Structure 1
């Protein structure tokens, strides 16, 4: 059977949405304020959120993969 792109319950084609995190380290100044420029910025592989999202009704779904590794729609995401 041919692959079909995942769709929302409303019928709209879903998009892949991801949010990747990073960490900043900044000094605290003598004034008690946080320095505007961080002295260390690095990515954190553990801070990644992704899901399938509908641009029509804003429904969100977990990402699953079929036996060929292709993206399919999982359960509805509970916000």
Structure 2
């Protein structure tokens, strides 16, 4: 539980610092946009395996439907 609390506090502090930095400079909008882009890239890198599994599930479902195996898709729980 202490680890979770520490992670949450760190994230809140980082978010606060980012927000304050955005207010202090006239290029704050650029800084915020750059940080948002970095956050999005980090998200995709961290979740790459899950995203690939999702894409594979979609393509497998489409392939099954295209080949007429609609029952297999209806029974799929993934």
Whether these two folds match at TM > 0.5 is: no
TM-score range, shorter chain: under 0.3
Structure with greater proportional helix content: 2
Which structure: larger Rg? 2
TM-score, normalisation: structure 2: 0.20
TM-score, normalisation: structure 1: 0.20
More RCO (CA 8 Å, sep 6+)? 1
Structure with greater proportional strand content: 1
